[in-house]
Each structure stands twice: as structure tokens, then as C-alpha cells.
Structure 1
């Protein structure tokens, strides 16, 4: 059994913390919205009242919060993890943030005697609930080996991809591919509907060929039913596409398709769709096609 602090119990963090508790670990969860801790308590964990309370006696501190400033505040801010955690504890940041921020925080953590891994995940709410997330991990190999049993409790595909910051770089590439796929699927659906095709049947046969993808499998029902309850919000994908385009510019890499998709994600957000699932990029295609989004 490992004593784990889990900070951030949102759409992704809550089921991950629940799985860790279900695996027999002692999990203390913390979230700005205390009610989000109810599933963890039901699974045998407990709700902490502060960072200091959460990390007291913790061997491992997990973080799953929305953006780079949030991670900086949780770890290095006043009354943060760096101030209260026990020296030698392992910090696992499951958040998706800027690679350069991750590298800076890793340097601070090691200088203070902590071990740290960046371990962003892919798979959305369904992946988190079913413990089949893909986890791309940056950091020291020994730390990865130590954390592997915890990763296996929440994910299916777990890969050490390099030193600190590498996990975030791979996640940025993941978000580029996912956004481009969702946009292409959205355009295909609107195109098919314009010709009166049985769209459900069309997506079934497309899914069995080279056009098939995890995006098609997971997002087709959202698009067919126009149900965009968030599994991963457009607001967050907008943040991630900003990471992609900024990092690509820093590296001198051209991402013309990525830049276009980033603008389409930004447009969806500007049109009030930021709180919807990223499959709601379909609504942007409808707007561009002169079809009012419902």
C-alpha cells in the first residue's frame, strides 16, 4: 500500500483517484470543489482540507489540474506541495501543461529533494473511468519504474518517453493529432448529411477501413446525436493547441494544419462552445456551412 495525495478531482482526476483507492492504496484527495471528493470517499479514500493535509505522510503526490499556472500554484505556490511534502516523495503531474514549465518545475523539485515525473494522459473521461488511459511519462527511469504499478492502476498504455518535459511534448503531439482528427470527422459528418446519406451506416463502414480511428469510435455518437456533454472541453483543447503552436514555433517546426485547427478551436470557443466536448467542433463546421448550430 502506498500513501497517495491526489490534488485535482475533476472529470479525469476523480476516477483516477478512485482507481488508486480501489487498488488498495491510501488516497487523500483535494479539490477546490469539496463535493467532488464524494466518489473517492465512497471508494475508501478521504477528502483533505488543504495541500498540507493532503501531502502529510504521502509517499506519492499526484496532480491533475487544468493549466500551467495551476500546476505552478499547487507545487511552488504559497502553502504548496514543495513547502509541505516530505523530502524524497515522488510527485506525478498528470496535468497537460507547457513542456518548458514542466522542466522548470522539475529543476525546482529536484533542488528541494523531491523526485518528479510529468505524466499527461490521453483517453478522455471514458479512458479515465475505465482505467485504460494512455500515459506518456517524462523523468528519470528509476522514478518511472517505481511509479509503474500506480500508472497500471489507471492506464493501459504506459510508456517512458524521455527526460522531464518529454511527456508534455508527446501530449502536445497527441492533442494536435486528436484535434485534426475531430475536425476531419466533423467535416465528413456534415458532408454526408448534406447528401442525405445514412450517416450512422456510413460511419460504421468508414470505421472498418483506413479512415477508422479511436476518435471516430469515441466521438461519432456525440456528433450523430448532437450531444456534447464534456468528456474533454474545447476550452482545454484550446489551451493545448496554444501549447502546440508555441512549442512548434520555438523549435522552428512548421505545423500548417495544426495552426489552422488551432484557429478553428479558438473560433468554437469564441462562439460560446468552450464548455462543450471537443467533438462540438462539428458546430463550427455547421456555422461555416451556413447551417445554424442547434
Structure 2
């Protein structure tokens, strides 16, 4: 299969490298030429535009930041849909609103192209080791068609259901992770209030029934969420907002997870802790 890959960031680059190393004829495009430099020693082809990339591909994987970026690379004047052959497939690995995928799928269909949503989770190290998780939404036959490529960087690859369900699963994953950041940071702060060394407590929790990825990330960041504010904070805030929009539109009523996620975002925004990472006295109860 000829594969085009757009979005060579910290997660996308190792995904693309796995595709190349698996022997697929691969074409790359990036806004920033510097992100292509690590592929100079590979057989991957560089495209002049998303349309040029699409013309050389059967499957185009898109792993850019947000809804606007996905729409631009697909539907712009030199976008993917201007170059992809009829019968081609687009896989959206970005985390976006399910309605964005549905709207773009309609646009793709008018070009004779099929679009599926296939967001991923695990981060760059997991991508490099081939152990991302792919949450795919779309027609079963199309997901099956893409599976050999997805399997180069992901295990498992899970078909969630119709178009949009992959995005819903990813948003739920990210909101739960955000909520877990809040509870992990609050637990370590509570331990500090009780005169327990946070590093020692984190080590114990990591080997007990409270162990988890969020706890590991918070402990590695010194027990607070301050280090998340710069890069992860805006992305998590985007995903919490998207899931909030989805739940409101569906009339769903989450009771705990969005509240806890909101608490984590508040802490990343400099609210809810003192300079030493302790909770303000009025919140210690």
C-alpha cells in the first residue's frame, strides 16, 4: 500500500518512521522542513503539497493538532482531496470533534474518497515501539483495509463502531486522564499536608492499587501540574471542551469526570495551589 503521512510531530514522526521501516512506499509532507530532516536517510519521498502527497498515495494519514489544521490540509486549494484518487482513504489520527470528521467525510465522499477517524493514544515512545492504541471509527471494510498500516505502530487497533466513535473514545480517554491528573496531584498534596514526603508517597502509590499513568506523570513532574501548563495544558483543555460540547449536545450528564478534569485544568492555569504546590488552606478539607 502507498501511504502518505502528514503531521511529523513528537507522535507523528515515530508513527511515520514505523510505516517506512515496515516497507510501505511512503510520502511525507510537513509545513516545517526541519521535521523532514530525520527522514533523509530513508526511502520516504517528500511532497511539495498535501495534494502532491495524496496523488502518490492510496491511504493518507493525518496527524496534525486540531480541527482547523485537519480541515486545512484536507480541503485547502492544494489539499489532500484535490489530489487523492477515487477509492482512496483518509485516516484522521488527530483528536478532533466527531462532527468535524463527519462533515469532512461528506466532503471526501463527493471526491470518491472514504474518510475514517482513527485517533491514537500513547505518545511518542509508544509509537516508536509499535504499541500505540488506535481507536477507529468508520466502515468495517475500510478499517480492515487500513489495519496493516495501523499495525506498524499500534497494538491494539480497535474498531469502535461508526464514523465518529473513534473520536468519542479518544475524548473520553483524554478527559479521564485529565481527571486522573487532578486526583493524583491532590493526593500528593494531601500527603504533603500530612507531613508525608511526596516522592516517597509517589513511590508507594506506584507499586500499589492506586498505580496509574497519570500518577506517574505527576510524580515525574514533581508532584504538581505546573509543568503540564505549557504544552499538554492547551491540548487537554481543547479535548475537555470538545467532550463538554458533545455531552451537552447529547443531553448526557457526567457527574464526576468533567468536574475533576476541570480541577486539573484550573491547577495548570495557576489556580488551586500555592507556590510550594500545597493547596490553599481553605481548600484543605
- TM-score for both structures, normalised by structure 1: 0.85
SS at match of 1:49: coil
Structure 1 stretch 226-235 or stretch 39-48: which is displaced more?
A: 226-235
Confirm whether residue 143 of structure 1 aligns to residue 142 of structure 2. yes
Confirm whether residue 21 of structure 1 aligns to residue 20 of structure 2. yes
The one-character-per-residue Cα deviations of 1:20-57 (angstroms, maximum 9, x if unpaired) are 11111122211211101122333432332211222222
Relative to 1, partners in 2 of residues 1:114 and 1:267: Cα closer, same or farther, differing over 3 Å? same
The one-character-per-residue Cα deviations of 1:50-89 (angstroms, maximum 9, x if unpaired) are 1122222211101011111111111122221111111111
The one-character-per-residue Cα deviations of 1:120-175 (angstroms, maximum 9, x if unpaired) are 01112332232211110000101111111111111112100001111001111111
- TM-score for both structures, normalised by structure 2: 0.88
State the aligned residue count.
281
Distance in 2 (alpha carbons) for counterparts of 1:191 and 1:81:
51
Distance in 2 (alpha carbons) for counterparts of 1:211 and 1:226:
18
Are the equivalent residues in 2 in contact too, given 1:4–1:58 (CA < 8 A)? yes
Relative to 1, partners in 2 of residues 1:186 and 1:198: Cα closer, same or farther, differing over 3 Å? same
In the other structure, the counterpart of 1:245 is 244
Are the equivalent residues in 2 in contact too, given 1:126–1:231 (CA < 8 A)? no
Relative to 1, partners in 2 of residues 1:282 and 1:46: Cα closer, same or farther, differing over 3 Å? farther
Distance in 1 (alpha carbons) for counterparts of 2:231 and 2:142:
29
User: Shift in Å at residue 229 of structure 1?
Assistant: 7.7
Are the equivalent residues in 2 in contact too, given 1:186–1:285 (CA < 8 A)? no
Distance in 1 (alpha carbons) for counterparts of 2:274 and 2:233:
12
Structure 1 stretch 43-52 or stretch 32-41: which is displaced more?
A: 43-52
Relative to 1, partners in 2 of residues 1:60 and 1:184: Cα closer, same or farther, differing over 3 Å? same
Confirm whether residue 191 of structure 1 aligns to residue 168 of structure 2. no
In the other structure, the counterpart of 2:199 is 200
In the other structure, the counterpart of 2:118 is 119
In structure 2, the gaps of 5 or more residues are none
Q: Which has the higher helix share?
A: 1
In the other structure, the counterpart of 2:46 is 47
SS at match of 1:286: coil
Residue among 264, 282, 286 paired with 2:277: 286
Structure 1 stretch 251-260 or stretch 161-170: which is displaced more?
A: 251-260
Structure 1 stretch 38-47 or stretch 159-168: which is displaced more?
A: 38-47
Distance in 2 (alpha carbons) for counterparts of 1:13 and 1:5:
12
In the other structure, the counterpart of 2:108 is 109
Relative to 1, partners in 2 of residues 1:148 and 1:261: Cα closer, same or farther, differing over 3 Å? same
Distance in 2 (alpha carbons) for counterparts of 1:195 and 1:143:
55
Relative to 1, partners in 2 of residues 1:84 and 1:283: Cα closer, same or farther, differing over 3 Å? farther
User: Shift in Å at residue 270 of structure 1?
Assistant: 4.8
Relative to 1, partners in 2 of residues 1:216 and 1:262: Cα closer, same or farther, differing over 3 Å? closer
Structural RMSD (CA) = 2.8
